[in-house]
Structure 1
């Protein structure tokens, strides 16, 4: 085993969070029960905020960035995990309160590990990553609320991003009409290839609108927030629902209760970080069953860890399409 290895470490410099690739040793890692050799991670919007310093994601410093990992157990003090077990981790405070995935090795808590689903390779699991797994949680929320079986049109905002692309593919797999909201008209062919049946300019949703608008959507998945989510809710049909999981457009919700009390529209909040294992298992089972592997490959790019600084800036400025897998080992 190598004596040192590279990791993307966030530290404080002049009161600002700065990230740089640094050499670590096993002695530097936290004293958690399971040592994992990481082969792949992924790039998420939260990772971009953490690495660029545009969002204070790390709650303690120094902090290894990266909220997703796929790898193999090297050693374990937990009876639940053995050397050689293929594992993944999504969320659980990685890159916030727990050292994260952009490191050749990491020690993690046994309760944070999930067995690599047998239907996916490590690259595919990280192509899905937190963004795709969050999309699956959104689909489950809509399913449990009972709106997917009603048909009609479904809206996906932030459609060219990680959550959006997987959400489109999962909704389309059920034969549903999917409208993709994006600010990148050049991606129309790509989004239609994933299963979108219509494209909507995001500017039509991003400005303040009326409290109630013409009914368009049976439901949808929103990763943008702010006025976009408010307008989507104002356009949702009676009894419809939106699953909200992101705030790329803002954390505010400048709307009214009118859609909720006059049309019985539901806003379903979706958290992927501290999601219980039972729901995680349901989400991964959904992905194994419904996610077209060819479409997953179509929306995936693989890049080395050295490219993270540039890629982090690209994802927070809206230049990343689909999912980016980071090769670690």
Structure 2
């Protein structure tokens, strides 16, 4: 039996343009245990591009996984080795992204149609690595039967030695829907993921797609090994304060978002000293303080002042000063 991966119980999904290193460091300050993922990076970009810019990360981000895109086993194995040498805790293969870019390169969700190729890719990465290799997939694409499509992919990656499967529990429509619509329009089918786990009890399976409240996390964990939360964790990051107490039996690293921002200050200060801009961090903070009086002024201050060249910690403190420390009032945001 394959043991569930450490920290697989809760993870924050890989999200393009969102889950960069700055975002991951913010999230880490609210949970010691959540498994964090990079944005998808293509294997060729890792091999030929500016590696430090593309996949560099801070040690505080651990446990952190690198998500790769591609369909060539040799290139994926080479990129995975580079990722392992950088210190990532896991390498994940993207078999779920439906964007035009991945369709043009025949990877991402397109790989749901080629389970044998996915198996070859996983086998090549497993042969090259000592760290876990996982796959994030859909339940099918376009007119595929989700029962047959997901079963075929699972059989192929299991035979290749995959360490875990993360199932985005909806189909991807490669023609006629935008990537945004693909996150919302095809209906979610959590029961399909449950059936997959029941048929493969020794394979660690996590679920992704439309998951929000902690009560939903707990419900899924009755049937599966892990939950992966995407947009809700980004747009309402304070939910991450509940991860460690609820799922790992430990207190959160900080009591609230105000304390998180205080803990973030030395991280931002080091970034600014290296010539970075405040906006690299503050662009990920607009979801803080939902429902609190002053939240709108906080967001406005971020948008008007923290984006300016030369903006610094004083600007972030000024934005935070707008927010009441009283408990949220649903009518006040």
Provide the TM-score with structure 1 as the length reference.
0.27
TM-score, normalization by structure 2: 0.27
Q: Which has the higher contact order (CA 8 A, sep 6+)?
A: 1
Decide which structure has greater helix share: 2
**More strand by proportion, 1 or 2?**
1
